[in-house]
Chain A
């Protein structure tokens, strides 16, 4: 395939994609304006844009987003701080694996949000519940992936490094950690995705006054569908941005650079 043809195919794709979005928006707009559904339930696109702009301009949306991000980062941080070392220990030491693995496989199928009512009873409404739920949601992907990653390190590499006189310390930092990194980074990614879902649910159920999940749930009481949709857009944008920008660049800086994985963009 020549470059020119490739280019023209790509521009056709872009045009078709843009067309879909325009058609979808137009459909929604006609539906909203036709009055089939009550105006309050299907606000028009300009209304949503206006609400989004106003709430961004007066800073409330930014504060809500900051509160949500704060909870995610604390919970996710704890999950990484515990999941990563524990996963490595599980991969390296048999007794740790024997102890943690059965517990993990029993706790993993419980959705983190099922714990919300219990945690509310134990810790009261507020930040603690949301942070703990995020921690619970993020812990298991981290643990499971680190464990698999450490076990998936090619034994030949370990033996080769050992034969070349690497001590435990060098073996760990120069062979095991880079070798396990594709799994660890996939784990970080999954963990973050899970925390992002969990925090929204936790904020809805354990409502404290700030947070994107709380805004959506609170807006329901007042039939402020435009506020709900505006917050949805913010939630989607933040999720998309972290996924693409943060984890994408982490992957480029580590595993692609080290040649551990090829970028498999289909």
Chain B
């Protein structure tokens, strides 16, 4: 599964670069026309009046809701709170997860001790813990952040562990033969060698955290947050607000992938020639 993930991302990049050869205008058109077709279909259905307007609003009222909420600062506030929760939870998970995973990969004892706990925790969908966390920590930010941290920790632990184990034995031996002490071995061989896996783990972890966070915000009574925005709008049948919120969620999700992880990958793994 890991290999297919890596191959998948490289495939996407290849197709992106081959598209870049044909002119920029054509590229824009090629990416835009499916949206235009679907948008026109949506518009047609909305205007035909098959469904009530408040359930199936035309695109311009979704756009109007988006502009109205952005201008009044409501939407940015929701998005900001969601992003803060995401980054705090994810940062906790990244620190703890990489530490635990690397430890498990390097020390047999740590592996024996931690692996049973990890393999019991991993198959339980994180969201199932949500009501439990709400009871334990009360409503609000704490359960949301804790849940994000728990959920994104598992792929990070798992991938760091696999990555450290996948470092070629021969690299370790040759570095040792050339007189590397433990610290240098770790910094210059183990860490770079495991990095492609660790980056994949972070990526998977962040994606999972993102998926869970939106749902948790619906369940935990938080005053601000995109999930809460959508869920709250349901009470008032504000479908246009809900769709505008979903659009923001899509944009942030896309931005996380394109602006955070692809540059990170380019700066580290690709530059070091670990991955193309």
- CB contacts (< 8 Å) of B34 on chain A: these are 98-100, 102-103
Q: Is there a chain A Cβ closer than 8 Å to B170's Cβ?
A: no
Q: Is there a chain B Cβ closer than 8 Å to A163's Cβ?
A: no
- CB contacts (< 8 Å) of A100 on chain B: these are 34
Q: Is there a chain A Cβ closer than 8 Å to B231's Cβ?
A: yes
Q: Is there a chain A Cβ closer than 8 Å to B168's Cβ?
A: no
- Nearest A-chain residue to B231, judged by Cβ: A117
Task: Tell whether A189 pairs with B132 under 8 Å between CB atoms, given A12-B112, A114-B246, A115-B246.
Answer: no
Q: Do A186 and B128 touch (CB < 8 A)?
A: no
Query: Which among A18, A102, A113, A121 is the interface contact of B234 at CB below 8 angstroms?
Result: A121
Considering residues B56, B108, B124, B231, which has the most beta carbons from chain A within 10 angstroms of its beta carbon? Answer: B124
Q: How many A-B residue pairs have CB under 8 A?
A: 180
The distance from the CB of B72 to the nearest CB of chain A, in whole angstroms, is 21
Alpha-carbon separation in the docked complex, A239 to B111 (Å): 23
Q: Is there a chain A Cβ closer than 8 Å to B88's Cβ?
A: no
Considering the complex, which residues of chain A in the window 8-31 have a beta carbon less than 8 Å from any beta carbon of chain B? 9, 12-13, 16-21, 24
Q: Do B165 and A266 touch (CB < 8 A)?
A: yes
Q: Is there a chain B Cβ closer than 8 Å to A196's Cβ?
A: yes
- CB contacts (< 8 Å) of B112 on chain A: these are 12-13, 16-17, 20
Q: Helix, strand, loop or mixed for chain A's interface?
A: helix
Q: Do B214 and A111 touch (CB < 8 A)?
A: yes
Q: Do B1 and A113 touch (CB < 8 A)?
A: no
Q: Do B218 and A205 touch (CB < 8 A)?
A: yes
- Identify 14 residue pairs between A and B in the complex whose beta-carbon atoms are under 8 Å apart, listed by A's number: A18-B116, A20-B116, A105-B254, A115-B246, A116-B231, A117-B234, A118-B243, A121-B242, A122-B55, A190-B1, A201-B125, A204-B130, A204-B131, A232-B128
Chain A proximity mask over B174-214: 1 for CB below 8 Å, otherwise 0? 00000000000000000000000000000000000011101
The distance from the CB of A112 to the nearest CB of chain B, in whole angstroms, is 7
Q: Is there a chain B Cβ closer than 8 Å to A110's Cβ?
A: yes
- CB contacts (< 8 Å) of A12 on chain B: these are 112
Which of A53-61, A168-176, A218-226 touches B? A218-226
- CB contacts (< 8 Å) of B115 on chain A: these are 17
Which of A75-83, A144-152, A153-161 touches B? A144-152
- Nearest B-chain residue to A184, judged by Cβ: B4
Task: Tell whether A116 pairs with B218 under 8 Å between CB atoms, given A109-B253, A204-B130.
Answer: yes
Can you add 5 more A-B contacts, CB < 8 Å, to A103-B34, A107-B250, A110-B253?
A13-B108, A13-B112, A20-B112, A116-B218, A200-B127
Q: Do A148 and B135 touch (CB < 8 A)?
A: no
Task: Tell whether A21 pairs with B134 under 8 Å between CB atoms, given A115-B246, A204-B219.
Answer: no
- CB contacts (< 8 Å) of A212 on chain B: these are 128
Q: Is there a chain B Cβ closer than 8 Å to A258's Cβ?
A: no
- CB contacts (< 8 Å) of A111 on chain B: these are 210-212, 214-215, 249, 253
Chain B proximity mask over A102-134: 1 for CB below 8 Å, otherwise 0? 110111111111111110111000000000000
A contacts with B, residue count (CB < 8 A): 68
- CB contacts (< 8 Å) of B130 on chain A: these are 204
User: Interface size class for chain B?
Assistant: 35 or more
Chain B proximity mask over A225-249: 1 for CB below 8 Å, otherwise 0? 1001101100110011001000000
Q: Is there a chain A Cβ closer than 8 Å to B38's Cβ?
A: yes
Q: Is there a chain A Cβ closer than 8 Å to B237's Cβ?
A: yes
Alpha-carbon separation in the docked complex, A37 to B257 (Å): 41
- Nearest B-chain residue to A151, judged by Cβ: B11
Q: Is there a chain B Cβ closer than 8 Å to A213's Cβ?
A: yes
Q: Do A110 and B123 touch (CB < 8 A)?
A: no
Query: Which among B38, B135, B246, B254 is the interface contact of A225 at CB below 8 angstroms?
Result: B135
- Nearest B-chain residue to A38, judged by Cβ: B135
Alpha-carbon separation in the docked complex, A182 to B212 (Å): 28
Chain A proximity mask over B216-245: 1 for CB below 8 Å, otherwise 0? 001100000011001101100101001101
The distance from the CB of B231 to the nearest CB of chain A, in whole angstroms, is 5
Q: Do A236 and B123 touch (CB < 8 A)?
A: yes
Query: Which among B134, B135, B254 is the interface contact of A106 at CB below 8 angstroms?
Result: B254
Alpha-carbon separation in the docked complex, A12 to B64 (Å): 65
Q: Is there a chain B Cβ closer than 8 Å to A217's Cβ?
A: yes
Alpha-carbon separation in the docked complex, A114 to B250 (Å): 10
Q: Is there a chain A Cβ closer than 8 Å to B7's Cβ?
A: yes
Q: Do A144 and B8 touch (CB < 8 A)?
A: yes
